[in-house]
Structure 1
Amino acid sequence: MSGFATYPSLRDRVVFVTGGATGIGASVVEHFAAQGARVAFADVAAEAGQGLAARIAGTGAPPPLAMVCDLRNVGGLQEAIARAGRELGPVQVLVNNAGNDDRHAVADVTPAYWDERMNVNLRHQFFAAQAVHSQMKAAGGGAIVNMGSIVWKLGMGGLPVYSAAKAAVCGLTRALARDFGGDGIRVNTVLPGWIMTERQIALWLDEAGERALMADQCLKEKIYPADVARLVLFLAADDSRMCTSQDFIIDGGRV
């Protein structure tokens, strides 16, 4: 991380990350901790979360507060955010990262599956923002970064419910930016392309897929979680103080 930007405004800032135990979320947690922020994260993956917290503590960075939470349980999510506020101070940065992009066929989608996918990919973002609003207002402002995806812009098939949820995230961002702006709270969306997390590599990356990806991207390099995390840092820091209600795409020029 030493070759990239340091943001003085992030030191001691309280950050809450959903889905922070693995993948992009884990990289976001690591990067905020390296900036000297006080980080809390919530994830259903207890063992991975504990391991991440231990690794960060071993670097000498402020150890994150790791909480086990199924974000489909709104009450549990609200309590996790409240706990972060009690133990670390008012949350000033929220990164709504958690999601699940499992593939699914149109014919297989039931009402129950639709509701569950919306809960995983959209609903918790609203209720997390709702829960941090009072803390951010008391702190004099804050930044919310909602994680979207380029899949709906590409018109990809094979995951229509996920695409619908991620398109809705962009609409949610614009509405929250308007409603929260008077309290000095900025809200933006990050739309990643195909990010090389361990999960993506294990499940979907093959030689044909990699060739197609490189053909589609303007930049002929793979994108990694750290690339996304550094964009999130910028949007959380005071350097982006007048950026709100916007979509920031990080896809190597694919869309």
Structure 2
Amino acid sequence: MLRSGSAILEIATRGTVQASIWQLLGASANAAARGAAPYSTSVLAAAAQPALATDPLQDVLSDQLEGFRQAGTFKVERIITTPQGAAVGVQNSSKEVLNFCANNYLGLSNHPAVAEAAVDAIRTHGFGLSSVRFICGTQDLHKQLEAKISEFHGTEDTILYPSCFDANAGLFEAILTSDDAVISDELNHASIIDGIRLCKAQRYRFKHMDVADLERCLQQATDAGARIKSRSLAACLA
């Protein structure tokens, strides 16, 4: 915000200068009452003109994006034009390609029985949760599926998450405190790494598949007084 006499000029985020015309007019009337020269219409017109300024945020983001392009890390979406499967169609390509990167390991996402069950659920329960689970987003279908999964795996209970990222974001923060420690393989999945970052536990990373370095981290955690030492070995055991 710039102040010039009684005039207040507001600078918008993209450099557009807006004048408080009413304040300018009021100041002009006061000046005339004192016998001073009032603001002229040319001053009012000049105050309302847009300023020639660049957007600093846009400049910073543009530089970062260009850096990604030069480093070869700028991501471009692959547009899939067919149902998920072992082979998929990709936009702007006449050939099918083999799909080795999906999470649809068992091919259930387009299984006829699964698709029909999804349609039936939409007919009876509508589309979407309309809320988070712990407020009013838990429906009987969720509990039925969780019970089936628990029965299949022989566990006490199950919590459904839409993705592994969400699961790991909810796991570590919920069960670990600053009195605990997480010892993680440095090449663990990104969802595990991000989940660990969200919790307050002491964090240690050992070199990939290096048992000696794992022992070092365990000793450090013990020396630091960690209550629970959770060893995240997913990548190490893969």
The TM-score bracket by the shorter chain reads: under 0.3
Structure with greater helix percent: 1
- Structure having greater relative contact order (Cα 8 Å, sep ≥ 6): 1
TM-score normalised by structure 1 residue count:
0.22
